Structure 1
Amino acid sequence: MTAAGSSGSASGVDVPAGASTPAAPLAARTRGLRKVYGRTVAVDQVDLDVPEGAVLGMLGPNGSGKTTTIRMLLGLIRPTDGEAWLLGHSMPEEAGRALPDVGALVEGPGFHPFLSGRDNLRRMAAAEPRLSTSDAPAAIGDALERVGLAGAADRRYRGYSLGMKQRLGLAAALLVPRRMVVLDEPTNGLDPSGTREIRRVIAELHAAGVTVLVSSHLLSEVEATCTHVAVLHTGNVVAQGELGELLDSGSPALLVSTPDSAAAMEALRHKRIPSRLIPDGVRADLTASTAPAVLETLVLAGVPVHEATRARTGLEDLFARLTQPDTAGIDQEEGR
């Protein structure tokens, strides 16, 4: 499901000559990316595609290489081997040309503890090449309001909770309009209200055409916010593509709602269609059959059918299938 790149794509991403044409313009990509620390291979031959305008969730347990990959993509560390391109620029060599268009929150924000949230953003704004001194106060106010920190803007950073620190880091990433925003574990330490606010900000960025790369180990967050997914495991990308396509890639099945589950099971068994009971009905396997055949079988057998829907693989099931047996490090619900 990996989209290949080509020289001179619509996104302007410089890629090796002779590569095949990409399925969609890419905001960022890596090829053969590898990072080794001593005897530890943190990232190994990662080929990652980030389509323009997508919200891509980089999913994986702690130690899977998510943050290391992001740091190489942003030019914060050099890869041991391989290549990376960000907004059409080779990284890290052309970081100065790419990064003004990128807002990033990586490995938690770093701010001065004795300054207020607003004053910390003033220091960040002074370093923004595309933000004038006269426009900075309004931009700071808008960013604080956007992440729900306007009421705490003048409190010292050292008094902020972990969730508030995360929000301030996001505000810093949003001080000026960006073509791409990179968020490493953006909901870390947030309560449900804060998590909803981050989801809202991501949705607003997506609606505005901004490419968003979100790293997370929370399956529920990725499923709620992302259009695309890349699954990392032990330093490798084991799957990537549109979220809907990946969720549809599991064993096909039809969920049938019926008040007579026993009769439905018997009718399907007679036609050698594997099925099992579920609440309020049956789940019929479509590996060797079709949805029309299942419904015809039930109707001819006199089984009342109230509703029928295609079953989708949940992200939790998909992740387990891709990363078994080492799935213990994944939190499957918020707040765990």
Structure 2
Amino acid sequence: MTTSSDLELGAGVDAPAPAPVLAARTRGLRKVYRSAVAVDQVDLDVPAGAVLGMLGPNGSGKTTTIRMLLGLVRPTEGEVELLGRRMPDQAAHALPDVGALVEGPGFHPFLSGRENLRRMAAAEPRLSVSDIPRAVEDALERVGLGAAAHRRYRGYSLGMKQRLGLAGALLVPRRMVVLDEPTNGLDPAGTREIRKIIGELHAEGVTVLVSSHLLAEVEATCTHVAVLHDGSVVAQGELAELLESGSPGLLVSTPDGDLALETLRENRIPGRLVPEGVRADLTAATAPQVVEALVRGGVAVHEVKRERTGLEDLFARLTEHGADGAGLPEVDEVTA
């Protein structure tokens, strides 16, 4: 029996996947300072609820892109949307839902951390006067500054200053949090705390945009990644998908390593022995073809997994290609 929904979608035809909801997007974004091009034709998609790591060498345009996204700088060309609002013209409607720590915090040096945060809280449109003390104390405790809140800001270490800036971004519940190098100056324990906070925000459904040069932290905390080089986006998408796409190898766990290698060669599939079995090169065959050939050849296949490249290797390959002007590999075109 044909239903009305079948007629609308076409019987036996899968409905197209819905487009991802975006918390932020840019199109054709460009920023020129006199004769210097800081950002050039950046198309960036930040999926709602994602933790997106923005990576790039110094001078790649990360901070400038973030400043335009938040309406702090007007683009030379292009379009910016933040939480469905055009920026910077509708910044007043979007920014109350956004917490941000950009280019390091700036506070009054002779006031305590608590007093600085209370002044910041007084400017929050969604905090009543009676709610400020509780909001301030909660934010201080969340970033681990409760015991040092009475100390003057001028006596804070760089890491403590970063924490206070993060506390300011978390004074009220946000739909999106933007963090520019949030672990700058933090010791390993502080870095783990920031990682935990980012994980909590993600679990709450908050979109997090993190600019960082610490690849290991991005790999540990982010669901998506965007790589910038020379002011342009050279790759973006789901982190797992990008890493998988960057790896042309299939690791096959088997006790029959020699037989597996011989079988691969008979099927003209390059391979080599590894401690757990064999590694098949996927540039000449697909993963199902490799498994089919091995099983047909009588090889005992215990486990098969795609070999993943590390984020550091992927980042180096992308930025090196961008630096020498060579064409980018296929992985760069993967999008979420």
- TM-score, scaled relative to structure 2: 0.85
- Whether contact under 8 Å (1:182, 1:213) holds in the other structure is yes
Name the structure with the higher helix share.
Answer: 2
The CA deviation at 1:263 is: 4.5
- Whether contact under 8 Å (1:275, 1:283) holds in the other structure is yes
- The superposition leaves residues 46-69 of structure 1 with CA deviations (integer Å, 9 ceiling, x where unpaired) of 111111111111111111100000
1:121 and 2:117 correspond: yes
- Whether contact under 8 Å (1:251, 1:287) holds in the other structure is no
Question: Which amino acid counterpart does residue 190 of structure 1 have in structure 2?
Answer: L
User: Counterparts in 2 of 1:158-307, with a 5 A limit?
Assistant: 158-259=154-255, 261-298=257-294, 304-307=300-303
The CA deviation at 1:22 is: 7.5
The CA deviation at 1:292 is: 4.4
Q: Partner of 1:46 in structure 2? A: 42
User: Counterparts in 2 of 1:21-40, with a 5 A limit?
Assistant: 23-40=19-36
Which of the residues 112, 127, 132 maps onto 1:131? 127
Q: Which moved more, 1:305-314 or 1:40-49?
A: 305-314
CA distance 1:262–1:151, shift in 2 (3 Å): farther
Which of the residues 67, 80, 95 maps onto 2:63? 67
- The superposition leaves residues 147-190 of structure 1 with CA deviations (integer Å, 9 ceiling, x where unpaired) of 11112111221222211111111100000111111000111111
Q: Partner of 2:51 in structure 1? A: 55
- TM-score, scaled relative to structure 1: 0.85
Question: Which amino acid counterpart does residue 52 of structure 2 have in structure 1?
Answer: L
Alignment size in residue pairs: 307
- The superposition leaves residues 115-158 of structure 1 with CA deviations (integer Å, 9 ceiling, x where unpaired) of 11111101111111111111111111111111111121112212
1:316 and 2:316 correspond: no
Secondary structure of 1:248 counterpart: helix
- Whether contact under 8 Å (2:244, 2:306) holds in the other structure is no
1:85 and 2:76 correspond: no
- Whether contact under 8 Å (1:65, 1:234) holds in the other structure is yes
CA–CA separation in structure 1 for the residues paired with 2:87 and 2:282: 46
The CA deviation at 1:303 is: 5.0
CA–CA separation in structure 2 for the residues paired with 1:147 and 1:34: 35
Question: Which amino acid counterpart does residue 168 of structure 2 have in structure 1?
Answer: A
Structure 2 residue runs without a partner (length 5+): 1-16, 324-336
- Whether contact under 8 Å (2:247, 2:306) holds in the other structure is no
CA distance 1:300–1:46, shift in 2 (3 Å): closer
Q: Partner of 1:15 in structure 2? A: none
Q: Partner of 2:149 in structure 1? A: 153
CA distance 1:22–1:39, shift in 2 (3 Å): farther
Q: Which moved more, 1:174-183 or 1:151-160?
A: 151-160
CA distance 1:306–1:46, shift in 2 (3 Å): same
CA–CA separation in structure 1 for the residues paired with 2:56 and 2:274: 30
The CA deviation at 1:297 is: 4.4
CA–CA separation in structure 1 for the residues paired with 2:153 and 2:277: 54
Question: Which amino acid counterpart does residue 88 of structure 2 have in structure 1?
Answer: P
CA–CA separation in structure 1 for the residues paired with 2:113 and 2:204: 26
Structure 1 residue runs without a partner (length 5+): 1-20, 328-336
CA distance 1:69–1:22, shift in 2 (3 Å): farther
- Whether contact under 8 Å (1:41, 1:235) holds in the other structure is yes
The CA deviation at 1:298 is: 4.2
Give the percent of matched residue pairs that are identical in Structure 1 and Structure 2.
80
The CA deviation at 1:270 is: 3.0
Question: Which amino acid counterpart does residue 19 of structure 2 have in structure 1?
Answer: A
CA–CA separation in structure 2 for the residues paired with 1:181 and 1:313: 29
- Whether contact under 8 Å (1:35, 1:44) holds in the other structure is yes
